[in-house]
Amino acid sequence: MNGVHDLGGMDGLGPIDYEADEPVFHAEWERRVFALTLAMGFYGAWNLDMSRHARERTPAAEYLSSSYYEIWLSGLERLLDEGGLLTRAEIDARAAVLRAEGS
């Protein structure tokens, strides 16, 4: 697909902000999203190329305004939904509970 993820040769995206001693993960949820995506791949729920394609199908405007692991979360939710493992409603309901708990 000719998606917004295919950034090569595009101008106007601003400078790359390099962070000194950048940690692998900036928050615990990033670690969890990454681990879930890989673990369910090893489990056989999807393969590497399916998960990459799920991330690149993040809607263009959302993709460009998302952090790296926000795009991974978007892809994971898409894989869970399309794979029949969770529905959008279940994901949204759980997110609402966590939001209410302030976690």
Partner 1 sequence: MPMLSAKDVPTLLRKGGAARVAAEAPAKFAPGDRVVVRNLNPRGHTRAPRYIRCKAGTIDRDHGVFVFPDTHAHGKGPSPQHVYSVRFTAREVWGDDASPRDAIYIDLWDDYLDPA
Q: Report the interface residues with partner 1, using CB under 8 A.
A: 1-2, 6, 8-9, 38-39, 41-45, 47-50, 52-53, 56
User: Which residue, 18 or 43, is less far from partner 1 as judged by CB?
Assistant: 43
Q: What's the CA gap between 70 and 75, in Å, rounded?
A: 9
Contact at 8 Å (CB) between 33 and 69? yes
Q: How far is the CB of 100 from partner 1 (least distance, A)?
A: 31
Q: How far is the CB of 11 from partner 1 (least distance, A)?
A: 12
Contact residues for 12 (Cβ-Cβ < 8 A; gap 6+): none
User: Which residue, 82 or 92, is less far from partner 1 as judged by CB?
Assistant: 82
Q: What's the CA gap between 22 and 26, in Å, rounded?
A: 8
